[in-house]
A and B are shown apart, each in its own frame.
Chain A
Amino acid sequence: MKTNSIYEALNNVDDKFISEAAKAHGKRPMALMITAASLAAALALAVGIRNLSGTMGNYISPADSPVNQSGASYVAPGFGESKLLWIYDSFNNRKGEFTSDAYEAQGLGKSEMSLPNDSADDQNGEFTLDADGNFWFNVYPHDIVIPDSFKLDETGELRWFRDLEMSPADLFAEFGVSPLMNDNFTNSGGEPSVMVSQSTIDFFYTLYNKNINKNVYFDVSYHTHDIGGAYIIGDNKVISMKDGHGGIVEQNRAFFAYDGVMYVVSVCGTLGDENDYIMDVLADLGVL
């Protein structure tokens, strides 16, 4: 049996690994460096893109994108007459973060993406358009970890117990939003899988206070296990319900339609920066 100090052994690892990590020092989150110019280029791209029939497999590769690594863009499936533009941080080319294949592409391997008791297949998701033209992102159900701020009340309803003591339904009602639940998306106990994080609430309030009355779709996921529903302010459709882990982690994203183009801004940045960035993007686009 061999025993050695792994701490000491680490000191002798290949120089290239040390240099690689040392070089990383000082890099800043590139997602926050997406400029108005790169955004404009991405938007121009979106206009000319064909409807991709509700699949997520034909987006433009990072290499072909007019936006560089600091803000690669992808054109995702068409949504009715709108287009969906996915702007994201491109960290490790996370173009297919919704699928297990993307994890493999990142070198994580399917097993890496699975939490205990999850199978890799559980984590697969897909974009679909329903018969009414609603856009969905479906993630197959599995257990959901409920953050401390959420509890099930005596009736089994999931409630927010931090700053706002209201159920998701109440919350949506306050914003004039009628969420449609995706039947595919309940936790193992059958509870509706709508959870909102503090950042989601803050985000909602910020926008609400700005009197947004456009078709603004939000799908905000902040913490790994938070579930960010997708909502439409000023309309009554839900375009997406999604999982908070297994691929859609550490990202905030906003879906919104503007001038006939549907956009998704998805940001992976340092904690606390994402919402500010999304707000900036929306402002740049004239939505705010």
Chain B
Amino acid sequence: MNNEYVLSERSESGLRELKRKYERLILMVCRSVLKSPEDAEECANDALLAVWESIERDYPENLTAYVCKITRRKALNRLRYNTAPMRSSELLTELDECLPSTKYSPESMFESTELTAALNDWLGTLSEKQRVLFMRRYFFSESIKDAARECRMTVTAATTALSRLRGSLKKYLSERGFNYEN
């Protein structure tokens, strides 16, 4: 069964197929963000359901990316709920050096078109290896160790590469008017 089937078949079999195809990926994202296995599992179920409920409305072209985005958002929301003060986790702190935000409101969270465009442009300047490493770490929230393994790098090399990538992103964003706000 293909994605077309998943998207078109609003039945139990469509949901089953969605689960079969994406459960592993969804769980990976949830487990990477949330340290608690129970939280991750619960979040994965929520994410799967959210995908299923919104799929008909959005009818995404790229189902994998769509699933990833929804899952990541669910997981990050759960992480923020679990951790106080907000963004206290190591993962959410790393990218602060690129563009720390002092505002967290629903508006700021969703009014990020320009920043997203800049991010897309910047990602487009990277090699595939760099891009995958960055995304594995900061989109999929994998540990450096796991991201390094995915990219077939040592942890040391991945750490160095990520540091350089953050520096590159910071410079890129700064040049385009994204900057610190004190």
Contacts and interface: CB of A to CB of B under 8 A. Distances in A.
B130 A107 contact: yes
A20 B132 contact: yes
Nearest to B87: A7
A11 B62 CA distance: 14
B152 A12 contact: no
Nearest to A21: B135
A210 interface: no
B135 A20 contact: yes
Interface string A6-37: 11111111111111111111010111000000
Contacts of B60: 15
A4 B127 contact: no
Interface stretch (A42-50, A148-156, A263-271, A275-283): A263-271
**Range, interface on chain A:** 35 or more
Contact of A270 (B108, B112, B113, B149): B149
Interface string B83-107: 0000100001001001101111000
A22 B65 contact: yes
A249 B148 CA distance: 14
B128 interface: yes
Interface string B73-89: 10010000000000100
A30 to B, nearest CB: 7
Contact of A14 (B114, B123, B128, B155): B123
A10 B138 contact: yes
Contact of A30 (B28, B131, B152): B152
Interface in A99-118: 106-108, 112
A15 B61 contact: yes
A13 B151 contact: no
Q: By CB atoms of chain A within 10 A, which of B65, B72, B104 has the most? A: B65
A51 B28 CA distance: 50
Contacts of B177: 1-2
Contact of A92 (B66, B129, B135, B140): B129
B64 A224 contact: no
A6 B152 contact: no
B98 A5 contact: no
B55 interface: no
26 contacts: A1-B177, A3-B108, A4-B111, A6-B98, A6-B119, A7-B87, A8-B108, A8-B109, A11-B139, A12-B112, A12-B113, A13-B120, A14-B120, A15-B64, A15-B66, A18-B68, A19-B65, A20-B135, A21-B140, A22-B25, A23-B64, A25-B150, A92-B127, A106-B127, A250-B157, A268-B152
Interface of B: 25, 28, 60-62, 64-66, 68-69, 72-73, 76, 87, 92, 95, 98-99, 101-104, 108-116, 119-120, 123, 126-132, 135-136, 138-140, 149-157, 160, 164, 173, 177-179, 181
> Would you list the 8 A-B pairs with minimal beta carbon distance, nearest first?
A107-B127, A15-B65, A21-B135, A15-B62, A18-B65, A9-B115, A9-B112, A250-B154
Interface of A: 1-25, 27, 29-31, 89, 91-92, 106-108, 112, 223-224, 249-250, 268-271
